[in-house]
Amino acid sequence: MVKIVNSLKRGLEVLEIFASRSEPMTISRISAMIDAPLSSTSEIIHTLYVKGFLTPGVDRKYYHPTPKLYHIGRQLLPEARIQEIDLCLNDLLNATGESALLLGLEQGVMRVVAVRGSSHRLRYIASVGHTSPLLGTAAGSAMLAVLPEEIRRDLVGRELHQISDETRQRQIDETLADIDNDDDQTGWHRVEHERGEAGVTSIAVPIVYDDAHYAIAISGPSPRIAQNEENICSQLRTVRQQFSASAANFSPARFRGYFP
């Protein structure tokens, strides 16, 4: 009779717990949830950390998953599922001539998950793993437009942590009101001279892909984006409809990429 490897079983249970709860956890809490001794759980967590599946927070007490498992899972997805987003980015690149990017939220920043780069000599360049701020970027605005209210207020508040509480609350209200207005009026989000990217304009829309929120953005030199803006926005609106789903279906407990 083939035996179950208990250490492997518990390691997989740890990953399943992180997937179901979507929040950082301490070793002691994980130990109780998998009903294992603290010493054994520490060894499992350390192994997952060494292999790149988990990473500790700033205080090194709480652990959370890294994108590594996502990238492995993406490689194991049926070919048709992978092709769906690849074809979408390729279609956007061909229709607009500008770089097309899929971005997800990770630890308060937007991270590039997939990209199709423009062939123009002067173009926006980003590789998978590249990060950009949540505020002051088109992809970040698109993401904030569809997140549950408590999550997006917390995320914006973190970015404005250096100002006083009263001013911060007012700034949060104003920032989210502007984002909501853009989303209601146009269905897309445009930022010229994005934070950290002088001379770049990006236009982005939120989508739902693989049961999680993402943003798809078109980015390029500001003059060229301005000349082709109508076409770009039309293409992105079509993509948003293609991947449309109600944000109400995603509770904070299920939301990926957010850690309170």
Q: How confident is the model at residue 70 (pLDDT cuts 50, 70, 90)?
A: low
Topology of domain 78-249 in CATH is Beta-Lactamase (3.30.450)
On whether the CB atoms of residues 188 and 66 are closer than 8 A, the answer is no
6-66: CATH number: 1.10.10.10
On whether the CB atoms of residues 63 and 57 are closer than 8 A, the answer is yes
Side chain identity at residue 11, one-letter code: G
Domain parsing of the chain, residue ranges:
6-66, 78-249
Provide the pLDDT for residue 64: 83
Strand, helix or coil at 193? coil
- Mind listing the pLDDT tens digit for each residue in 117-157? 999 999 998 887 788 888 889 999 999 998 888 888 888 98
Nearest Cα to Cα of residue 131 among 67, 207, 70: 67
